[in-house]
Every structure is written in C-alpha cells, then in structure tokens.
Chain A
Amino acid sequence: MMDCIRCRQSLLADPHDADPHLREHLAGCGECSRYAEELLRFESRLERALRLPLPDSAQRPDAAVVPLRAKSAPRAAGHRKGWLAMAASVLLALVVGGALWLSVPDRSLAAAVVTHMAEEPQAWRRTELPVPTPELREVLRNSHLRLAGGAGIVSYASSCQFRGHRVPHLVIQSESGPVTVMVLVHEPVAAPVNFDEQGYRGVIVPVTGHGSLAVLTRGAADAATVGHIAARVLASIVWTG
C-alpha cells in the first residue's frame, strides 16, 4: 500500500499519473485527494502559463511554409515576403475551395453536431479543473485513441450517442474559451466543412483512416482560430488502433 509521502512525491512529478496504486491511495485518503485536486489546479495554471499567446505573425497559416528563407537571408527580405504571399494565396485557395466543396451529407453532419451541442449545455462550463486521466482514457478508449497532452486542459469528457455510435465528446479549455471536440471515427468527410449555425462556429476536418473531427466554439473565436485549435487537437491525438 502506497503511503502519503510517496503518493505526493509521485503527484508532484506527474499530477496526471494513472498508476493504480496511486489512485487506490487517493480513493482512500482525503488529505492526499484534496492535495491532488489543488495540484491539478496549479497544473492547469502552469499549462496556461507555458502556452504563451503567440504573436499573430507566428500563427498565420503561411508561417509554417518551409523553406521560409535561406539560412543567411535577412528576416524581412523582400523575396521572402513574395514567397509567403504566394504560399498564403495557395492556402487561401485551399481553404475557400474546401468550403465550396461542401456536400449536402456533410452539411447535415454539421447540423447534427450543432444539435448535439445544444443538448449538453453543462459541457460549456469554464473551469480549470481537468477531467481525471483515468476517466478521460476510458472515454477515448472505445475510439482507439489517446491525447498526448498538447491539446489543452480537458474539462469535460463524455461518451455520447451520436448517429448510431458512441463517440467521445470533449471540452478543451483554450485561450479563446471552451472548445468542444467530437471524435467522429464513423463519419468520414471529403474536405473541411466550416459552419456557423445557431451561435456555434466550427469546422469538421477529415482525419485520414479515422473519420473526422468536429471542433466548435460558441462564436467567441473566428474561423481561423477554430482552424488553429482543430489542427492543434489533431496533432495531439495518438491513434492506438
């Protein structure tokens, strides 16, 4: 049986540690359990502190275009601007093209996602308390994935019935407020579907071999921000099957 000292040492090294002996101790020790909760609040603050707001220039869609510049070239060289402008126009064309590509079935999927959101208003609560790791793992397990941690604080996790399947419904606290994510492994889409309906703004993005991912906000973020958040969540998903 793990003692209190060992339990708190483990928590300080990793507050999300899912070791069964640690969890067993927490279940039976009120003081350590309160300590774990306080540590999770501290962790949430730590994560927000590490996740610095980046300057707009670093978040532009064209910022990741490589190669950006020759190693010895000056930062604001004219030819680089030309490259970036060209790359930006290509990306813009892709985004607009993607939006125009919307098919009727994909539209109806977006409508179903919005309807589902409206049915679970409690999920939108703004909180700093993350869902305990074992609970989150359980929700994600049936869809064969786990979150590597770069996505942000997951404050809500539920396995929901959606169009005949159980799907993970998560709420992630982002710098733009709560963002809902639905992992729709049974719902492939051909191209990104942007939508702005009933006060919800979001995007459904295709995930090769794993259906799609729906990301929604309640209108606080613009489409570009929603796109960035979707890309970040996607990058943090580790598929396990």
Chain B
Amino acid sequence: MKDQVGGNQKRARFQALCQSLRPDLLRFAFWLSRDHALAEDVVQDSMLRAWKAQDSLQDEAAAKPWFLTIIRREYARSFERKRLVTVNVDELIEREEPMLAAAEEQELAEMRAALFTLPDEYREPLALQVLMGLSTAEIARELNLSGAAVLTRLFRARKQLRVLCGVDTTLDPQE
C-alpha cells in the first residue's frame, strides 16, 4: 500500500515535470524539424520514452537536458524511419505560415522566416541557448562539440540572422 502511494506520488511529480517542460520542448522540436506535425509526434514519442525511462532521471534539476537528449534522438530516429528528403525552404515557410505568423507582428514573422533559412548546425545551438536556456558547456555536451565550436556556431548563427533580418551590421565583427 505504502509502495503504491509512493509510486503514485512519483508518477504525479514526473507528470508535473513533463507538463511544465512540454511547451518549450515542443517549440524546440519545431525549430529542430521545422514541421509542427513532426514536432508533435517527436515530443509525444519522446514523452513516452521518458515515461518508461523515468527511473534513469536521478536529479530533477537535470530534467531539461535529459528530455532534450531524448527528443534529439527521437528526431534522428524519425528522420531515419521516414527518410525525409530535403525540401525547399520557401515551401517549408509557406506550409508553416500559420504557426510562424499567428497573430504576431510582422517583425517576428520575418525573424521566424529567417530562422527557417539558417542551416541546422546553427539553428539548433541557437535554440538550445536562447529558447532552452542551456549554457555553452551544456550545449557542447548535448551536441558533442567543443565549447569553442559551439561559440563559433552561435556567432555565425546570429551574424547570418542579423543580415537576413536587415539589421544594420556595420559594427558586427568579422570572424
């Protein structure tokens, strides 16, 4: 009986954890895949995997990177399964237009379109840093890169994004 109560409490805590992280994980999966339907599938399948593997999460403070790792692996698996072909970015933007421009001002829609055109290798660390709040060291661990390589990608990501958004870049440094 005691075990059952403890188990229920543990499940409730884990469920609350999933609930609090889910919106940002869904956003991250969207920026990873640029496809809202795929993002929903990836997050849902990841939640299922996380649910089954919840005992391996020893420290709730580490939940975010733990979930991110599961999502990135699940996304890679879906990519292998579906053998997605490279698509035209304009088509992607057109397809996701309602998601990108929903009831928001024009400049945000432009920024989102610019984010769509960034190469994956720049968009992903940027989303991990800005959206998910990971430090450079945490991003390096997640992407299996050196800290210097992460900083270079983040530098290039913002530099390209600023050009794409038509910002005055005269003070932007060269690499």
Contacts and interface: CB of A to CB of B under 8 A. Distances in A.
Interface of A: 4-5, 8-10, 12-14, 31, 35, 38, 42-43, 45-54, 58-59, 61, 63-69, 71, 147-151, 228, 231-232, 234-236, 238-239
B40 A58 contact: yes
B23 interface: yes
A69 B48 CA distance: 8
7 closest Cβ contacts across the A-B interface? A149-B133, A64-B19, A49-B111, A231-B20, A148-B133, A66-B51, A235-B20
A46 B129 CA distance: 11
Interface in B154-175: 154-155, 158-159, 161-162, 165, 167, 171-175
A16 B38 CA distance: 32
A14 B23 contact: no
A50 B44 contact: no
Contact of A235 (B21, B31, B127, B158): B21
Given A46-B158, A67-B48, A148-B64, 8 more contacts: A50-B130, A52-B99, A52-B100, A53-B103, A66-B48, A66-B51, A68-B44, A151-B133
Consensus secondary structure, chain A interface: helix
Given A42-B162, A68-B48, A150 B132 contact: yes
Given A12-B159, A42-B162, A51 B131 contact: yes
Given A59-B23, A68-B47, A71-B48, A49 B108 contact: yes
Contacts of B126: 46, 50
A14 B154 contact: yes
Contacts of B158: 12-13, 42, 46
B130 A46 contact: yes
A54 B26 contact: yes
B13 to A, nearest CB: 9
A12 B15 contact: no
A87 B78 CA distance: 28
B173 A12 contact: yes
Contact of B171 (A31, A43, A48, A228): A31
Interface string B44-84: 11011011000000000101100000000000000000000
Given A64-B18, A235-B20, A239-B61, A58 B26 contact: yes
Q: Among B24, B45, B112, B165, which residue has the most Cβ atoms of chain A within 10 A?
A: B24
A232 B108 contact: no
Contacts of A68: 44, 47-48
A9 B102 contact: no
B24 A14 contact: no
B110 to A, nearest CB: 9
Nearest to B31: A50
A66 B18 contact: yes
Q: Among B18, B22, B165, which residue has the most Cβ atoms of chain A within 10 A?
A: B22
A50 B111 CA distance: 9
Contacts of A234: 20
B111 A61 contact: no
B172 to A, nearest CB: 7
B173 A149 contact: no
A151 B23 CA distance: 12
